[in-house]
Amino acid sequence: MEDVRFKIGAPRAMPSDLLAVLPPELVFDIFARLDPVSLARCSQVSTGWRKVVADDLLWRRVAFRVLNLPPNVEKDDLNNLPEIQRWSASTHFHELQSFRDLCARWTQVLHGWCGGSKGADESGKKDELAHSNVTEDESDEKQAEASTVSLTQETSSPAHQPQDAVERPDSISRRQLKASTKLLRAVLPEGEPDLWRIKVDPEEGTLIATTRSGGLFVIDIEANRILWQVGPHQVGPYTHLEGERGILVVNGRLLFDESESFNVWVHKRLLPDGGDGELYQIRSKLRLPSFGRASRFKWPIFCAMDSTCTAHFYDLTDPDSPQKLDSIDASARYGEREIRYIDFDDNHFFIVGSYADQVTVFERSTGKVKWSMASYLRQPEVRALIRSYQIETTRSQDLSPFGFPLPEAELMTRALDSEWEFALADILNPIDYRRDSFEWHAIHPDEATGALFVLGEPVLLIIPNFASLTDAACKVPIMAIHYQGPTLGRGRLDQVPLCVADGRAFLVQSNFILLDLMPDRESMLTSTSTSSPSFSLPPNPTAPPNIRLFAGPHEHHHLADLHEYAGCSCAQMDGANVFAVVATEAPLYGDAEEEMDAREAIFEALHFRVGPRELLRG
């Protein structure tokens, strides 16, 4: 007798609803493995599926997997959870109603970073990207606005597509990174001081800023009003500022003081008695033995480098009693005036200096050099290891004076012919001088992707898997992205900031540039969400890297302040916002006695709030 069990093409009975034949625990486990968009789409299959998807316990499991929430979080904790509050200094994650609502909001922001379409091409592709509601159909308008997400794929037939379907991303001619743009000002009766350095406190929804004329201001981001301020007698002009999680570290050196001091300010929410009514209080002072050259604060560790090229580390877990940690001596590789920027993570300390080979990674535990650009550049095959690209931008007619929406840009391979490569030639071919037309501006590790960003005047370097590098084993390719814009006027002091968050980098020069190392992500990127670095360059050097890039012109980049500081002086970024201090206008002063005073720029904080239009209203 023929066994039909193994006969190809034998008909088999299929249940009308798989939920009826699978154990409930298995159904729950299967649905919990879906991404939020796919899970929302499942509610359209049948009434039974809709009931399963409506269970917020299911969305809780999805949220824990996708967003890496701390353990034991319940629905009532969502609006008071610092880990969620720190994702955005704006109201993206305010008034959360459920875990489903949380997943919807995060998905909206994720799709916002991907950029929307400018228009469909003429390829005739019929694949479509649908919209689906991730809350119940009977929800009110506010919930609907906060839960509409773009689906990444539609599996039903075209006849059943929603009416608001749009083109799939692969059929879009050009993406655009859209954001609402707002100016944050410190407006006083006597005028508006020009901002200098900024930090963001997402838990309070505030922007903290020092100014070019002195003083410190705390500004409510949503209301755009000053909540608290201190005058120039406490915080001087052009004062550097560090801050995170309610702690500010502000340079406090006085004129003619031969040492460097830093005041540790603490927000009243961290004080047992709420303080004396002031929003911030000075609770302690840190003093360096000599002038400070650079500083960086990542809660709870503060690091400052003095003029002897020694990096001093302090633990500010208890801001009333800072604990001095070990120091790192970098004087063997850097001179007093060669330090440009520092940063660190739990295991490494990073320095960039004035010259092309002055990029160094130290081990914090030993204080010894782990990897250096100097050793990397002296490898015989170094030119084959450096993959050089040029940003090709497209100017949109829809651009505002501040660049947004940012059109998607392309990376074009290019020859080694920039000032940076000329500087490399000076290193590779021993000569008696060093080229001074190039210098580094900033260095930042991205713990989420394992990449190290190094910013110079004409080039942004991206070094994958930096933690695995040593001077003895450094034959890995690095990426050099050339972004050079028009040269500023003579005597201008160009500011080129770099900020990095969650696999993305933002910088401002003659263009606003946003780069995403993980454009295909489906979950939150954190240092604990992956066991290995998630960004790498393709083995084939001719293959394009899998990154997404947006760039748009900064029309006021050339404007300078009274002391000839031009460009963007500071930038900050979190999971859904970008903040940048830029020149917004330069009014003409007809009564100026000197020509250079007749057109002094006004510097304000631009707030770019990324997300769909539904979240940007109000």
Mean pLDDT of the 101-128 span: 66
411 lies in a domain?
yes
Helix-then-strand count for the chain, H and E? 11, 39
- pLDDT over 50 at 565, yes or no: yes
Name the band, by pLDDT with cuts 50, 70 and 90, for residue 128: very low
**Higher pLDDT, residue 371 or 127:** 371
- pLDDT over 60 at 563, yes or no: yes
Q: What is the pLDDT of residue 124?
A: 31
Percentage above 90 pLDDT, the chain: 45
Tally of domains within the chain: 2
Cβ atoms of residues 438 and 377 within 8 Å:
no
- pLDDT over 80 at 432, yes or no: no
536 lies in a domain?
yes
Q: What is the pLDDT of residue 222?
A: 94
Q: What is the pLDDT of residue 71?
A: 86
507 lies in a domain?
yes
- Residues 540 and 280: their CA atoms lie apart, in Å, by 53
Q: What is the pLDDT of residue 574?
A: 93
Name the band, by pLDDT with cuts 50, 70 and 90, for residue 472: confident
Name the band, by pLDDT with cuts 50, 70 and 90, for residue 181: confident
Mean pLDDT of the 571-599 span: 74
Mean pLDDT of the chain: 79
Name the band, by pLDDT with cuts 50, 70 and 90, for residue 496: confident
196 lies in a domain?
no
Amino acid at 488: L
Return the bridge partners of 552, or none: 512
605 lies in a domain?
no
- pLDDT over 50 at 171, yes or no: no
DSSP conformation letters of 123-172: S----EE-EEESS-TT--HHHHHTTEEE-S---S-GGGS-TT-EE-GGGB
Classify residue 26 by burial, with Cβ atoms within 10 Å: 0-12, 13-18, 19+: exposed
Neighbours of 346 (CB within 10 A): 10
**Higher pLDDT, residue 57 or 594:** 57
Neighbours of 277 (CB within 10 A): 7
Mean pLDDT of the 450-460 span: 90
51 lies in a domain?
yes
* CA 449 to chain CA centroid, nearest Å: 12
499 lies in a domain?
yes
* CA 478 to chain CA centroid, nearest Å: 20
> 554, 580, 609 — which closes off a domain?
554
Mean pLDDT of the 517-532 span: 68
Name the band, by pLDDT with cuts 50, 70 and 90, for residue 22: confident
Q: What share of the chain is helix, strand, coil (3-state, %, to 5)?
A: 20, 35, 50
Q: What is the pLDDT of residue 103?
A: 94
Sheet holding 341-344, edge to edge: 341-344, 348-352, 359-363, 369-372
- pLDDT over 90 at 47, yes or no: no
CA distances to 6, 21, 531 from 10, in Å: 8, 21, 45
Cβ atoms of residues 556 and 582 within 8 Å:
yes
Determine the structural domain holding residue 109 and report its residue range.
22-117+119-173
Mean pLDDT of the 571-591 span: 83
**Which of 448, 462, 459, 504 has the alpha carbon at shortest distance from 485?**
459
Percentage above 70 pLDDT, the chain: 74
- pLDDT over 50 at 542, yes or no: yes
- pLDDT over 90 at 7, yes or no: no
Q: Which residues contact 415 (CB under 8 A, 6 or more apart)?
A: 388
- In this prediction the pTM is 0.84
Q: What is the pLDDT of residue 396?
A: 55
Q: What is the pLDDT of residue 320?
A: 96
Name the band, by pLDDT with cuts 50, 70 and 90, for residue 160: very low
> 536, 554, 572 — which closes off a domain?
554
Q: What is the pLDDT of residue 325?
A: 96
489-515 in b/e form (b: 16+ CB < 10 A) is: eeeeebbbbbbbbbbbbbbbbbbbbbb
Mean pLDDT of the 507-532 span: 77
Q: What is the pLDDT of residue 617?
A: 31
Name the band, by pLDDT with cuts 50, 70 and 90, for residue 75: very high
Q: What is the pLDDT of residue 398?
A: 56
- pLDDT over 50 at 156, yes or no: no
Mean pLDDT of the 587-609 span: 69
Q: What is the pLDDT of residue 589?
A: 56
Name the band, by pLDDT with cuts 50, 70 and 90, for residue 153: very low
> 537, 554, 571 — which closes off a domain?
554
Interval 184-203: pLDDT, tens: 988 887 778 899 999 999 99
Bridge pairing between strands 131-133 and 148-150: antiparallel
Output the six-digit token pair for 565.
């500081």
**Higher pLDDT, residue 587 or 474:** 474
**Higher pLDDT, residue 177 or 600:** 177
Amino acid at 64: F
Interval 234-292: pLDDT, tens: 999 999 999 999 999 999 865 455 567 999 999 999 998 877 789 999 999 999 988 88
